[in-house]
Chains A and B, each alone.
Chain A
Amino acid sequence: MHTRKYTRAYTRRSFLDGLGKASLLSTGVLGTLWDSLSQSGEDTGVYPEHLLSLSEYTCGKVSDGDLIDSRNVHAVAELLDPIRFQQVSAMGRRLKTCSPTRSIDALMPRAYLEATLRNQGKAYFDSDQNVRAPGGHPWIGGNPFPSPKNALEVFAGHTLSWGRHDASLYTAKEFDVGRNGSVKYRYESAWAEYAPVGRTELDPRPTRADMQDKLRYQSIIFTAPNDFKGTSFLNIWPYDQRQFPDLKGYIPAFKRIRSFPTNQRFEPLIPGSSLYLSDAWAAGDPFLTWGDYHIVHRGPALASISNNWSHEHENWEHGTHGPNGDERWWDMCVELIPEAIVVEARPTSFPRAPISKKRVWFDARTLLPFVMVSYDRRGEVFRSFDGAYSRYQSDTRNVMDGGAPYWSWTHLHAHNVQTHEITRIEQVASIRGGHRMMVNEEAIFNRYLTTHALMRFGN
């Protein structure tokens, strides 16, 4: 029980105080967040009550289970980023509110959490600003900076392990929505990620010696529609975050692998899409190719961090809604998180990038991003990216990741605010061509992350 001395004003001052010391961030209001999480697995005793209950925070105007729409969105305006606020207030988006998730175990993969706990305090930045483990080795798994002291640590920890798994294959459906709300393009794709370092599940752990100079292998292979079937791109990320990933691609019409220059990361891969490589996980580029990291905001927020698995649908497909009955928005469940950290960064290694900066909202407990807003070169809001996560577990159905329930992203929006074109993507159980979601299977590498694989899928 917290007394009234921890008022909203106190909370606000506490968060602003953190901003004033941007290079010495300390998460939590009443105590140190990570201490609580690492000891109890929850954020107990770290935040005052009004940050733990949506009803209390809004003085009863919005409660868990309510639907947020244009009629009541003003009650939660300060819990939303400006783009989601605009989407709800003016573009027919609705958000379903859910009870807050307190257990950190439900907010990330268990193996990743255990590695974070096991390896806390061991990470440091070397002279090149790359994250190292004791002895100068590549990072050894989990989040290297679970209690970040600055914005760079927030971003570095997330960039090292996007999906928090050693290997993932996300089978996905994409819907590109035009200005009038109708779906103009539909794609199906398989997105693969594989970590040679920082491994927590796959052997050898924590590092594949033959690939220890690599951080990540990542590919995307389009399987539908017909004219893009087989189009694929393979990114091979050096561990050195100052270097651009190697980018190879297979265009079926050419029947061959081509090497693409790697700094073209701010354009769609396929017609109609509003998603760029640079958008991936809100950290689609090596973190040292961006710079000027700083924290611009801390405070409570509404985020889609759990209860978003569409277990009712056999293929995990999600419902949609929109004004005039169109299919503009995903149905998403949001919950109050007591503290979000908003980090701003600039694309310092991309002199002709169409964006000048981005702001990314992280859940302070998991350091997982849930919203990104980017700005064009004039400083105007350009695009937004908001995603949802979930543990894939319900009363009737579970998806397992070894001995634990599978945890992952579920669906996302990428919204070009200037053209009002929206890309919706959802993770599904399977797509055409026999591809199905896979997690922590070594076979993902040979099957999806080599040039052979690209050629094979390209026919």
Chain B
Amino acid sequence: MFRKLGICGLATLIGMHAQLGLAQDVTVQGFIRLEGAPKLTNDENPFNQNGNLFNGRVVDRDSSLLGGAADTVTRAVPDGSRQANNWSNYLALRTEIDVNAYFNDSWTGYMKLRGLYQPDSYDSFGDPNFYEVPFFNGDRAGSRLELAGSDYMLDLPAFYLDYANGPLWLRIGNQQIAWGESLFFRVLDVPNGLDLRRHLILDLVAEEFADERVSAPGFRGSIRADDWEFEAFAQLFNPSIIPNENTPYNLVPSQFVVQQQQGFDDVENDVNFGARIQGQIGDLGLQFIAVHRTNPDGAFRWAKSNVNRDLPGAPGSGFVLQDTAFEVGDQGVLSAEEWFTYAGITRLDGVQALNKAISDFPATALLGAVEVGDNFELAAQELDLFFQLSGGLRGHIERRYFEEEVYGVGANYIFKSEAGSFLDQLVVRGELTYTPDRTFTSPDLGRNFLVEDEWVGSFVLEKYHRFNTEFPATFMVLQYLYKSESDLAGRHLSGFGGGVSSTPSGESNFQALAFAVQQPFPNLIWRADLSVLYDLNGGTLIQPNVRWKPNNAYTLEVFANILTSNGGNDDIIEPLEWGDELGIRFSYQF
């Protein structure tokens, strides 16, 4: 690890030296921060082996309709007899160092070095790999200017030159591009994907994905004329980064093996580009965007396992299995009940996924598997049969990326009314995007992805209001989000509503509300926030937060993430409901 850190530091110094040697003024500032998220419940992440809902639980299996038998199975608790008993979801030491370089009145430079070390305090199956993902730098890093090991990452989320000359502005280098103005909801904020490896999306809501948005090398420029501004960018593609298996915020059940490398290699050199026009007509602000991009979220489907491992007692069967979407392994699914339970949680159709695993991979039929149509009972029997024969099957899925065009419009208007009234200075904002032929993961994980036109719209009311003379104004924002085809995480709505005994009923649209209030105290030394995300299907994230900045050097932030769901596998919170936690950040800046 330290060798890697040294190499990265050296590379950084060399890069900066080239810049700084020409700079007239160089400023270095930074901070060190301890970040933690102790758990508030004993619930574990069900997508990890140690949190599997079936650990230690006796489950009935029945394949008698297919000539098998009824039996029971108990998923062995990984790591011997231990049940996971994590006290914390997240514990990391972070440092960020900002270097500003001033060359002349037109040229400036900026570099942010971000480093995180996350000790292996998480009780998982083996040593968790927090940060390595197979995209860059020896298939170990999530972005181009990053070095990562299992418990550390060091990257340059910003490393660019700025050029400004009159109304012309250019930014060249590794950068984030943030568009749109909503909490939680990313309607116009389409240029960059998200890095979910560190603290998922459970950082402070008010920060609006600032730490998650993935930067990439690119050019961005704008030119302004009167009240209008034209902006354009071209930027290398970088996928969104999902947490690894058996890490605290893992989102993909560990019964799956996710193949990310090939799909990424095919699009590694893709370039996203787009333009935005912003302007003001009287009190009405308008913006229009058009973006061509490779969707950073990607889509998943069954993939060949390429693992030649025999079924117990069936020598040579591994040769066939390697051409199917499965491999034999006790980390895999052990029962139809487990299969359907996790299909529901992950918004998949357990019956059709079985069919596609057979029809898309003919070798599966060589093992005797047959498609079952819509017959749920037959699917369950067939699944139980194979799990009885195999002792557990892991499914392989691959991640693929697709190009798309996103067209959007945004408008905002500031109401003016009697001074001090609630309507006075009320900001009303709307954002709307249309994406023709967007590609989604099909709930059956079939070879053919779902392709649909998607509309995404948000409506925002924002208000600073001074309720009394003693306290600074309170900031309040109320937001509404509508998506026609997928949820906040991009999962297609046709996979919603399934469960252990039913296939998905689907949803016609996704709707959510968000509300946030921020109340600074006099002198801004204290600030209290409350953020709420409510999925109209019954899921809620509540995040209260208190921030204390007693002096120049130290800042303490304490917040909580309270997640509740009414079940039904039809809201976005349910898969995270286990995650109630207390967030703590203690920073020292220099």
Task: Tell me the A residues contacting B by CB distance below 8 Å.
Answer: 184-186, 210, 223-227, 229, 252-256, 258-264, 266-268, 270-274, 349-354, 376-377, 419, 421, 430, 432-435, 443, 446-447, 450-453, 455-456, 459
Contacts and interface: CB of A to CB of B under 8 A. Distances in A.
Interface in B76-115: 96, 98, 100, 102-103, 105, 108, 110, 112
Given A253-B210, A452-B164, A456-B169, A229 B470 contact: no
A255 B178 contact: yes
23 contacts: A225-B589, A253-B206, A254-B207, A256-B180, A256-B208, A261-B473, A264-B464, A272-B551, A273-B523, A349-B419, A352-B467, A376-B469, A432-B25, A433-B25, A443-B105, A446-B166, A447-B105, A450-B167, A451-B229, A452-B164, A452-B169, A452-B224, A455-B169
B206 to A, nearest CB: 7
A353 B110 CA distance: 39
Given A352-B420, A352-B468, A434-B24, A274 B164 contact: no
A432 B27 contact: yes
Given A267-B520, A459-B98, A227 B31 contact: yes
Interface string B313-334: 0000000000000000000000
A38 to B, nearest CB: 39
Contacts, number: 152
Contacts of A273: 523-524
Nearest to A226: B29
B466 interface: yes
Nearest to A347: B419
B523 A272 contact: yes
B102 A433 contact: yes
Interface in B534-590: 549-552, 555, 587, 589-590
Interface string B187-212: 00000000000000000001110100
B27 A258 contact: no
Interface in B1-41: 24-25, 27, 29-31
B207 A256 contact: no
B31 A261 contact: no
B105 A271 contact: no
B285 interface: yes
Nearest to A442: B166
Given A253-B210, A256-B179, A459 B229 contact: no
The 5 closest A-B pairs by CB, nearest first: A434-B102, A261-B425, A351-B420, A267-B472, A226-B29
Contacts of B555: 227
Given A267-B473, A421-B523, A259 B464 contact: no
Nearest to B176: A255
Interface of B: 24-25, 27, 29-31, 96, 98, 100, 102-103, 105, 108, 110, 112, 158, 162, 164-167, 169, 171, 176, 178-181, 206-208, 210, 213, 222, 224, 226, 229, 285, 412, 414, 419-420, 424-427, 463-464, 466-470, 472-473, 520, 523-525, 549-552, 555, 587, 589-590
Nearest to B231: A452
Contacts of B31: 226-227
A447 B162 CA distance: 12
B414 A261 contact: yes
B466 A352 contact: yes
Contacts of A456: 108, 162, 164, 169, 171
A110 B24 CA distance: 32
Contact of A261 (B100, B105, B463, B524): B463
A264 B472 contact: yes
Contacts of A210: 226
Contact of A226 (B206, B213, B590): B590
A430 B25 CA distance: 10
A227 B587 contact: yes
A433 B100 contact: yes
A268 B229 contact: no
A377 B469 contact: yes
Contact of A263 (B25, B229, B424, B549): B424
Contacts of B180: 256
A184 B108 contact: no
Contacts of A267: 472-473, 520, 524
Given A185-B552, A210-B226, A267-B520, 12 more contacts: A226-B98, A255-B176, A256-B208, A260-B464, A261-B425, A274-B523, A352-B420, A434-B103, A434-B108, A452-B167, A459-B98, A459-B158
Contact of A352 (B176, B179, B469): B469
Given A185-B552, A446-B167, A351 B419 contact: yes
A33 B25 CA distance: 48
Contacts of B424: 261, 263
Contacts of A253: 206-208, 210
A272 B29 contact: no
Contacts of A252: 210
A443 B104 CA distance: 13
B277 to A, nearest CB: 14
Nearest to B226: A210
B112 A459 contact: yes
Nearest to B103: A434
Contacts of B419: 263, 349-351
A260 B424 CA distance: 12
B352 to A, nearest CB: 41
B100 A432 contact: yes
A270 B555 CA distance: 13
Nearest to A263: B425
B178 A227 contact: no
Contacts of A259: 285, 412, 414, 427
B218 to A, nearest CB: 15
Given A227-B555, A272-B525, A254 B112 contact: no
B523 A268 contact: yes
B29 A224 contact: yes
A191 B224 CA distance: 22
A184 B551 CA distance: 5
A264 B102 CA distance: 33
Contacts of A268: 472, 523-524
A446 B29 contact: no
A21 B381 CA distance: 101
Nearest to B426: A261
B548 to A, nearest CB: 10
B208 A255 contact: yes
Contacts of A270: 524
